[in-house]
Amino acid sequence: MKYLPFFVLLLLAACGQKEAPAGEQESDNSRIAVKTAPVTRQSIAAPIIASGLVASDEEARLSFKTGGVIQRLYVKEGDRVRKGQLLAALNLTEINAQVSQASEGVKKSERDLERVSNLYRDSVATLEQVQNATTALNVARQSQTIAQYNQGFSEIRAPRDGIILRKLMNEGEITGPGTPVFFLSAAGPSDWVVRAGLADKDWARLREGDPATISLDAFPGTTFQAKVSNLSQGADPMSGLYQVELKLSPAGKPFAAGLFATLSISPSGKQDLYSVPVDAIIEGNGSDAYVFVAEGDKALRRPVKVSFIQNNEALIYEGLSGVQSVITSGSAYLTDGSEILVKP
């Protein structure tokens, strides 16, 4: 009698089941039950997420027009300067000597021309000699102009208000023409930009004026508004990326060149994307992921490219062409080629 309850349970369970053909029941038990969801298409302006650096809209490498020995540096790194402020000067010994030499050359040429002209009036000198003396005087005057011009550019003055980011040379060093001495960055409220490199598919969707929000590691919890101000027309040969520049409002924060920024740009150019439930995505790694697709009674694993996630939906830009539905429930138990039973 002690086995009766177990027997009754078996009998009741057997009465509650419908009998199925042996072959069909065996087949169902060997397959994994799954559910599917339809793949839809959306035309959407997917946000572009990128990282970049804060920089000044106007940056200048300041140098001397001529070479020489640096006599004096009047500012140091980090100093704020005003437009026209004297920043550095060369030792003028050599430059002043060149100006004096050019001036003496003009005086000599003037005397030579006067003497030849008098001889020409007395029919002693020829017209060619007068013309040659006149040319020599003109050349001497041009040399004097050059020397005086170089003398005027033997000092460095700030071309605009800004901050000295770097001092590249010291007093007493010999500098050449055009060799940078200071690196000046404009630092007004309207002078800040963020520069970032984008892939070609993202660059093509942007237009000047597209809005963006910026987050800076230096100011956690604060977002800044920006707009696309410039799009490069050529890729960086080193990285292969296209540079985008966004005009940034500091909103009263003390910005500095080189701050790390995270960008979320809202492009005006829309993109046709495939939409599937997030549950369908497996093995995601960045934009690379996989989904399972039902092909008859088998599950096939397909690679996809995810653009972004929004409202429990994954927006996919590559990998679902021609696919009508994807597997959602039960995908965790599948491998490529697994036999499945699609449940409604």
pTM of the model: 0.55
Residue of higher predicted confidence among 22 and 131: 131
Looking at the chain, which residues constitute the CATH 2.40.420.20 domain(s)? Answer: 31-45+271-342
Give the pLDDT confidence score for residue 13 in this predicted structure.
32
What fold does the segment set 49-58+188-265 form as a domain? Elongation Factor Tu (Ef-tu); domain 3 (2.40.30)
CB atoms within 10 A of CB 288: 13
Give the pLDDT confidence score for residue 189 in this predicted structure.
67
Model pLDDT for residues 253-275, shown as the tens digit of each residue: 888 888 899 999 988 877 788 88
Residue 226 φ then ψ, to 5°: -150, 165
46-50, 267-271, 321-325, 335-339: segment of lowest average pLDDT: 267-271
Q: Is the Cα dihedral 118, 120, 126, 132 positive or negative? A: positive
Write the CB contacts of 291 (distance below 8 Å, at least 6 apart in sequence).
276, 280, 281, 282, 301, 302, 304, 319, 320, 326, 327, 331
Tokens 């060093």 appear where?
Answer: 173
Looking at the chain, which residues constitute the CATH 1.10.287 domain(s)? Answer: 93-153
The span from the CA of 161 to the CA of 151, in Å, is 24
Give the pLDDT confidence score for residue 90 in this predicted structure.
92
Residue of higher predicted confidence among 21 and 179: 179
Query: What mean pLDDT comes out for the span 120-139?
Result: 90
What fold does the segment set 93-153 form as a domain? Helix Hairpins (1.10.287)
Model pLDDT for residues 204-239, shown as the tens digit of each residue: 888 889 999 999 988 888 889 899 999 988 888 888
For residue 42, give Cα distances in angstroms to 149, 232, 277.
65, 29, 13
Using the predicted structure, report yes or no on whether residue 12 has a pLDDT greater than 80.
no
Grade residue 306 by pLDDT with cuts at 50, 70 and 90.
Answer: confident
What is the pLDDT of the chain when averaged over all its residues?
83
CATH of region 31-45+271-342: 2.40.420.20
Give the pLDDT confidence score for residue 9 in this predicted structure.
26
Give the pLDDT confidence score for residue 72 in this predicted structure.
92
* Percent over 90 (pLDDT), the chain: 27
Looking at the chain, which residues constitute the CATH 2.40.30.170 domain(s)? Answer: 49-58+188-265
Using the predicted structure, report yes or no on whether residue 171 has a pLDDT greater than 80.
yes
The span from the CA of 247 to the CA of 194, in Å, is 7
Give the pLDDT confidence score for residue 254 in this predicted structure.
81
Range 60-90+155-185: architecture per CATH: Beta Barrel (2.40)
Give the pLDDT confidence score for residue 29 in this predicted structure.
61
Model pLDDT for residues 52-103, shown as the tens digit of each residue: 998 887 788 999 988 889 999 999 988 889 888 999 999 988 888 989 999 9
Query: What mean pLDDT comes out for the span 26-44?
Result: 78
Q: What is the DSSP string of 147-206?
A: HHHHHHTSEEE-SSSEEEEEE---TT-EE-TT-EEEEEE--STT-EEEEEEE-HHHHTT-
